[in-house]
Amino acid sequence: MKDHQIINVGKYMFGLCFALGNICLFGYLITKHVDFAIGGYLLLIFGTILNFLIVIGLLVYGLLHQAKLKVCLKTIGVMTINIPIAILYAAIGLNLN
């Protein structure tokens, strides 16, 4: 894979999880529908699993292709930006009631 393709994987996963998290949080804050809270909880579970699998895949790819290791680590760094955001959103969601 080319460097920009590897970086795009991280950017797309970051953007997807960030957008879905915003939809769940603000959907619940605006409408008070429990379905948004349930969706946010499921997003935390499945998003964590999916992101973890992608991180493992990137690490394995980077270790097998040493020239791509730096790009894979940069991509993993982009993806980890979602961790503090997810913690903040979870704290907000749990402290609403």
Q: Domain range spanning residue 46? A: 3-96
What pLDDT does 93 receive?
85
The answer to whether 72 and 6 are in contact (CB under 8 A) is yes
CA pair distance 29, 89, nearest whole angstrom? 11
Nearest to 57 by CA among 17, 96, 2, 6: 6
The model's pLDDT over 54-67, given as tens digits with 9 standing for 90+, comes to 999 999 999 999 99
Contacts 24+ apart (CB under 8 A), 40-44: 40/89, 40/90, 40/93, 43/17, 44/86, 44/90
The answer to whether 87 and 21 are in contact (CB under 8 A) is no
What is the rounded average pLDDT of the residues 6-23? 95
What is the rounded average pLDDT of the residues 6-27? 95
What pLDDT does 4 receive?
92
What pLDDT does 97 receive?
65
pTM of the model: 0.88
CA pair distance 32, 45, nearest whole angstrom? 21
What pLDDT does 1 receive?
84
How many structural domains compose the chain?
A: 1
What is the rounded average pLDDT of the residues 20-28? 95
